A and B are shown apart, each in its own frame.
Chain A
Amino acid sequence: MSDGRVLDILSAIDMQVNAGEVAAILGPSGSGKSTLLGLLAGLDQPTAGRVSLLDRDLSTMDEDARAALRAGRVGFVFQSFQLLPGMTALENVALPLQIGRKPGARSQAETLLREVGLGERLSHLPRQLSGGEQQRVALARAFAGDPEVLFADEPTGNLDAESGQRVIELLFRLRDRVGSTLLLVTHDQQLAARCDRVLRLEAGRLQGDS
């Protein structure tokens, strides 16, 4: 910080999520949930400590190696969707498959979009879709390639109750079909309650694991 003090965003966190588990990180705003998710997924690097993902130590890997680890094995759902604005719904969903050089990317993407109820919106650009629809595209993208791990950061944070509910149903349905490990960040108690395990985070510290 500018006055020379060190601000710990996260500290003393020791946790493990096992394969196939569905876990929620629950906490109020500013508790460091999203930062923790970013670290666990290798999107950022901790200043101290060690993170392993899919049995690989992320702290010994460079950005490229971490990206290679994610390719085709890890999926993401963000609060603000993070769809590429210049790509159609179909192209957005096909993207991870193309990055992972998987054959039949477009047809798989099309199947997934139909599964999330957007079979009629394949060639729409994100800006032509509602928030709920955009998040459903993001869900389809997250599950493209059947990821082993799925990270979801406040997936309903930007949605109304009805759309949010629909997205959650879809999320769990897809997860059940694929069998991915799911790590979900939320401040919504009800949503957290649907998970096998809830990790409570407050002011950057784990306060409970149930």
Chain B
Amino acid sequence: MSGGWSSFLHWRAALRDPGLRLLAAAVLVAVAALSSVAFFADRVERALLLQGAALLAADLVAEQGEPIPQEWLEQAESLGLNRARGITFPSVIIANERPLLVQVKAVEVPYPLRGQLLVETPAGPADRPPGVGEAWLEGRLRDRLGATIGQTRVEIGELDLEAAGVLVDEPDRGGNLFQLAPRLMINFADAERSGLLGPASRVKYRLLLAGDPGQVQRMRSWLTARMSPDGGLVDVENARPELRTALERARRFLSLAALCSSLLAGVAILLATRRYVDRALDGAAVLRTLGMSGMAVLRWHLGQLLAVVSVATAIGSVAGLLGQQALVTLLGDWFGSVLPPPGPRPLLVGLLFGLSLALGFALPTLLRIGQVPPLRVLRREMEAPGVASWLIWLLAAAVFFGLMFWQVRDLRLAGGMALALLAALVVLMSAGWLLLRLLAPLRRAGGSAAMGLAALVRYPHLTLLQLSGFGLGITLLLLLTVVRVDIIDTWQGSLPETAPNHFLINLQPEERARFADLLQMRQVPNSGLHATTRARLIAIGARKVEPGSYANLRARRLAAREFNLGFSATMQGDNRIQQGRWWDRPDDAAVQQFSVEEGIAESLGVQLGDDLTFEVAGQTVTAPVTSLRSVAWDSFNVNFFVVGTPGMAADLPVTYLSSFFLDQDTEGVTLDVVREFPAVSVIDVRPLLRQVREIMERGALAVEMVFLFTLVAAGLVTVAAAQVSRDERAREVAVMRTLGASRRRLLGAVLAEFGLLGLLGGVLAALLASVSGYLIAVQLFDLPGRISPTTWWLGVVVGTLVVALVGWLATRRLLRVPPMQVFNSG
């Protein structure tokens, strides 16, 4: 047979096969849903990363104590990356005859590479770096110096600059909020001429890089081998813990939603496959009778399956591309300007997903087709000797989870999902089995409801399959409706309207009472005062800590710099103990212990029980680590990587820090604080807070959109589950009609049958959704778990009604077909 003719035959035969049509529809919708989600999630994720990059002013920043070598610039150039150099250093400036310590930042065009600089100049707002001879002053610096923009001269080293503008917003406000002196921004060329960049000064040279992600990655690898020991690479993933946590959560939400859609799509394909394979076995027997060899029959069916699935997958992918474009249009205001174009990966995910899922589920059964006995033509009950069914499931499951993992690249998430799915199937199957046992006596009864329920017992395999399909469908739907809203609410609730938006540092011990009085008088909500000191980690156990001994750049950076060591009797509300326990006797001065944030512990290789030695103003302090904590950095509470028992602070030079919430009415408090406590710095974190809130909002909105696709997939599963028994049902309905059963009676029976399936599926789904929702909140998102009653009533009501409706609709259609036609179709 020629290729073209054979394809034509495949097509013609395939289009006539209702089983294959359903399978093709399932693949099409599944691929469309999944690839839309994948496309959209991919683009949103990249947009979120870009937003994060805006806070870094670049995609990647290399930072070290020595000037940036020319070679680095050339490398960046050759990779086609945008680049800008920067220098930061502390220095004393003089203006209006007042000396003041500032944090100088020198930048060059085209800084910033990401995000926006905002400057107020006498000529109006500007977004450019200062020119040679100009300086941008932070608002509080201008206030402290009593400077007049456009007139005051600022002396710094050998330079005499004009205070030419007020720095309103700079995207990369330093890596650590708490060590900020007021900012003075000058031109890069001026910094080099200032005479302040001597070897002993605390200068940091920075190279900002941005561009194509692949090239940035290449640059990163290239730089890693060349960084000096005190240097480090910073990207959005490790720039800001607050942002990292928020981004990570947003990404997990999207992944989870995409996974739910994939799961549903997989179930739909599996259900559709069963019907296709059943019919294919009949056809195979006929072809065998006609003299076709087993292998030829197999090839024929494989060709047919491949042809149909390929086309369905291709159409599904295109539909997915269009679908995500619709999403983008819907969300134009939110993402429009920053949403990067779709990449090729999601297309590949969709294509492979559709193809391998349909083949993975259908192939093991289809392989039996070659061995179908021709006698099946006469005796339909003759089965083909086949591969064990557990092998089929194992193979299909392997394909499915392999793809799932590939898509979300999160072993914990995919693994958890696999386990959850397995547990759900066990629960559904066991409950189904129990149901069958309970209903067995109904086989003897005669009423229409009993007749319907007895139908469940007559086809136990179908009942279990349908219950699993309906149950899983409703579970995932509930997870994404009720539980999703709960988790997102909890997430957004973790950053309330009155979350601290200002931090205050460097308050002296003797100023504490006066400061507390001031806040109380002005009724400012605050987090209280937290003792802290600057400390440098010098040893873990007997091992000395040296930046050069860490291969990990983050660890290297952490080892090189001073920590804010905190002291506290109680643990912050957003912290959670992961290992060990919080101190029992915080008031006992003799108790000396540390609690370490788990992320930094992992980077530095700190284990529970290790002794940590810090150097604090010439003294050394050693104590064991008695707990490892997780910290919700996006809560904006005052948090420390390392916390010691309060007793340890007694002999150390501590200062205090606090965080508080200011609204429009109390904004003036900043000025009062600065005036009354000249040594403190007040840091306004509103821009950062805004950024985190935005990530939360957009993340939540994106999940809502993805949910639409899950709905489509869930609808498909329900239809596919009802269709599983369509052939048997058609015959049964025809025979019953012939024997005189009324329409009402048959519909009543179906309503009872599907209603019970839906009810049971709904109850089990509510149970499964509640448990998995709780685990998802606690395990995946580090949020408090809660169980919503809505899950229960929605599961039960929607489950029963929707499933009954689907069964009713399917049967109503069958009732319109004259019985004779059904008998003639074999």
Contact = CB atoms under 8 A, between A and B. Distances in A.
Interface of A: 34-35, 38, 41, 43-45, 63-64, 67-74, 76, 78, 80, 82-87, 91, 94-101, 105-106, 127, 141
Given A67-B740, A71-B741, A99-B745, A86 B728 contact: yes
A78 B451 CA distance: 23
B458 interface: yes
Given A63-B815, A86-B455, 8 more contacts: A43-B738, A43-B818, A73-B740, A78-B823, A82-B735, A94-B446, A98-B446, A100-B740
- Among B451, B735, B742, B743, the most chain A Cβ lie within 10 Å of the Cβ of B735
B389 interface: no
Interface of B: 381, 443-444, 446, 451, 455, 458-459, 728, 731-732, 734-745, 815-816, 818-821, 823, 826
Contacts of B815: 63
A48 B739 CA distance: 25
Nearest to A71: B740
B443 A44 contact: no
Contacts, number: 87
B466 to A, nearest CB: 14
B742 A67 contact: yes
B823 A67 contact: no
B821 A44 contact: yes
The listed residue with most A CB atoms (<10 A of its CB), out of B443, B741, B744, B815, is: B741
A67 B743 contact: yes
A63 B743 contact: yes
**Main SS class of interface, B:** helix
Contacts of B732: 84, 86
Contacts of A87: 458
Contacts of A80: 823, 826
Contact of B818 (A45, A96, A97, A98): A45
Contacts of A34: 820
22 contacts: A38-B819, A41-B738, A43-B818, A44-B820, A45-B818, A63-B737, A63-B743, A67-B741, A67-B742, A70-B739, A71-B740, A80-B823, A80-B826, A85-B728, A85-B731, A86-B732, A91-B443, A95-B735, A95-B736, A98-B446, A99-B741, A106-B444
A192 B189 CA distance: 114
Contacts of A106: 444
B820 A38 contact: yes
B441 to A, nearest CB: 13
Given A86-B459, A99-B745, A72 B740 contact: yes
A64 B739 contact: no
Given A86-B458, A91-B443, A127-B381, A43 B740 contact: no
Contacts of B444: 106
B392 to A, nearest CB: 22
A78 B739 CA distance: 12
Given A84-B732, A105-B446, A106-B444, A76 B740 contact: no
B821 A69 contact: no
Contacts of A72: 740
Nearest to A91: B443
B728 A67 contact: no
A203 to B, nearest CB: 19
Contacts of B738: 41, 43, 70, 76, 82
A38 B731 CA distance: 16
Contact of A74 (B381, B451, B740, B745): B740
A68 B459 contact: no
B731 A76 contact: no
B736 A99 contact: yes
B743 A64 contact: yes
Contacts of A83: 735
Contacts of B823: 43, 78, 80, 82
B740 A99 contact: yes
7 closest A-B pairs by beta carbon, nearest first, are A71-B740, A86-B458, A98-B446, A38-B820, A127-B381, A70-B740, A44-B820
Contacts of B735: 82-84, 95
Nearest to A98: B446
